[in-house]
Every structure is written in C-alpha cells, then in structure tokens.
Structure 1
Amino acid sequence: MSDRIPNDHRSFSDSADSQRVTDDRAEPGLRKAQTGVHPAAIGVALAAALWFIAVTWVSFARGPEVDWDLVVVTLFFIFFFGLFLFTATYALKDPRWRQRDTSLREFLRSEVGTATGPMRGRDVMLEIAVMPLSLALAATLIGVIWIAIH
C-alpha cells in the first residue's frame, strides 16, 4: 500500500525554510517575500466586526433577556480580541517575522509571504476583509428589516 503513495511531501522545517525572507546571497531557488500584511487590512476586518456588534445592539436590544445575550456575546468578542492582541504582541517582537514597512498602495501591489506561499497584496486584503464585511452588511440588512417589521 505504501508503494502507491508518492513520497513528495515536505517536512515542516522545509516549508518554513521556503517562506523565510532571503537576501541577495541566498540560494537562487528561494523567493524573497516583499512585505507582510499591512495594518489597514487588519483594521478593515476589526472595523467590520465592531460594525457587526454595533448593528446587533442597535437592532435587537429590546429587553433584559435579549440584552443579557448581547452582553455575553460582546464579552466573548472582547475576550477573544484581547487574546488575539496578546499573542500578536509576541509575533511583532519576534525577529523571525520582521518585514519591511510599506504604504497601503505598495502593499496592494506587492507580493506577500503567506503560509501557503506568496500572494498578491490585493488578494490578501480580499481574503482578510470579505468575510467580516459580508457579515456586517448582512447584519445591517437583517437589522433594518427587523426594525421595520417591529
């Protein structure tokens, strides 16, 4: 059975080596990741999440039972966001993840190193922002309909 399975898988260290930022003296097969994720991409996702919470409070806060549920959900958001910030502070200080700073325009045009390989900055921005923005827009639409019928 094992003779049918190709042995072309790479170890974790091999994939990590292929993603590392290289200089001009490095091996010719390794590509240099031009930049990391721009803070504006994270800001868009965070703003959409806050928009979602605000729309939920404005649309559905109608009594103590519902308000309590909204408080619990909001506290979960704050807790998970706090954990995200806590872990992000370690990654920001780690010299292995240092990338050069870029403007938003340069980020959108550049190549970004990701775990699955390099991607264009525009594609990275879309992957980060589409889901939170879609959920915020859907919550807004549902909230408007809810307020209109009640």
Structure 2
Amino acid sequence: MPTSTYSFRDRWHVDAPPERVREVLVDVERYVEWWPQVVAVGYLGEGRGLVLCRSALPYTLQLVLTEVLNRPDVLEVGVDGDLEGTVRFELRPEGEGTRLDFAQDVVVPGLLGALSRVARPVLTWNHDRMMRGCVEGLAARLA
C-alpha cells in the first residue's frame, strides 16, 4: 500500500516556565479542554492513549500515542494509527517563559497515504491549523 511522509518543525514561545508547560503537555487526558482540534482522548494503559484529532478537514485522525521519552526538557511519543512515527516537544527556558520546539516525523499509510500525495498542500495547511490551535490553546491554558 502506498505511503507518504511528512516532517514538521515549529518553534514557539510560551509565557510560562518550562515546568508548568510540561505539566500541561504530559496531561494528555485533558487535551480536549484546551486544544480545540483534539476531540476525544482515551486511556489505553500506562504511557499509552488514544487521541482523536479533527482540524479543518472533515476527517478525524485516530492516533495511538505511546510514551517514548519523558524528561523534564524532552517529551516524545510514538504514533500509530492513521499516522505512524514520532512527535517530540523540547522545552527550554527563554526569558520569563519557555521556548517550545515541536518536531513531528510521520508516515501516512494506506488510502490516506495515497490521497496525501496529491493533497499534500491541503493536508499541510490542515496540520498548520491544528498546531496553531495547540499553541494558542496552550497559551490560554497557562495564562
């Protein structure tokens, strides 16, 4: 079955110390409270959860997240489901707040992967909206 790969990088500043930012990011079960594009979360066991995401396009991604790295300065999860790969947040003190570096490297398998070859600009735009929702929601949660 065809696949398509995506690598995304973002850097944001959040007006809260790294410890507070980390507390919010590790509490995946509460993402639905502050990240508009996360529509549901389910607990699958220690270090694992199901996350349903829907951005602007009429498609809900089903993702199983598995903790890979959980350090004070780095959070990384493995992703399986509609996307396969990794998502990583690096937290660094920056002034009175936190510099948050985001990295996502995923393969899109199956039919969605085949479609993404022709719809890449639209899917990238959709991802950008999702991540804008993340940083804006995170900032509001920490305010």
Q: TM-score range by the shorter chain?
A: under 0.3
Q: Please give the TM-score of this superposition, normalised by the length of structure 1.
A: 0.25
Q: Flag the structure with larger Rg.
A: 1
- Which structure features the higher share of helix residues? 1
